[in-house]
């Protein structure tokens, strides 16, 4: 199996567990993450800039599970906090900074996920 963790904080052990160790399924989930997450981040960035807290909460809700699948537990928890703040409109002034922190983590992650995908493909 692909290395479970590396220096970006990626931990694919949860994904492997969900996939029953299926490299094909893991590759598919990684591909979906790499394809969808930048789109979600773009939507969230627009909502944050527009102070559209309902939009921020909705997008945060969609992103949370994908962060968990990739083993980014701290980013998932941060996204849950963003969702809570957006939905309650309590502490919204902190959302922008938290969002950009998660966005940076995801940007750093894509290259590592590409490597993990290649390692998984080698097993097929």
Superfamily of domain 13-117: HPT domain (1.20.120.160)
Nearest to 79, CA basis, from 65, 69, 91, 93? 65
Nearest-5° Cα angle at 79, 77 to 81: 70
Pick out the chain residues at pLDDT < 70. 1-9
pLDDT of residue 86: 97
pLDDT of residue 2: 40
d(CA 65, CA 82): 14
pLDDT of residue 10: 74
Write out pLDDT tens, residues 55-80.
Answer: 999 999 999 998 988 888 889 999 99
d(CA 46, CA 52): 8
Residue burial 38-69, b: 16+ Cβ < 10 Å; e: rest: eebbebbbebbeeebbebbbbbbeebbebbbb
Q: Where are the domains of the chain?
A: 13-117
Nearest-5° Cα angle at 38, 79 to 63: 30
pLDDT of residue 8: 53
């Amino acid at each position: 199996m692909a290395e479970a963790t590396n220096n970006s904080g990626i931990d694919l052990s949860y994904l492997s567990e969900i996939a029953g160790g299926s490299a094909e399924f893991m590759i598919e989930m990684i591909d979906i993450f790499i394809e969808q997450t930048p789109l979600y981040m773009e939507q969230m960035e627009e909502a944050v800039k527009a102070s559209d807290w309902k939009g921020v909460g909705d997008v945060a809700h969609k992103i949370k599970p994908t962060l968990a699948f990739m083993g980014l537990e701290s980013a998932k928890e941060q996204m849950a906090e963003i969702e809570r703040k957006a939905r309650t409109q309590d502490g919204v002034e902190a959302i922008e900074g938290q969002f950009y922190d998660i966005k940076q983590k995801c940007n750093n992650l894509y290259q590592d996920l590409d490597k993990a995908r290649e390692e998984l493909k080698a097993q097929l």
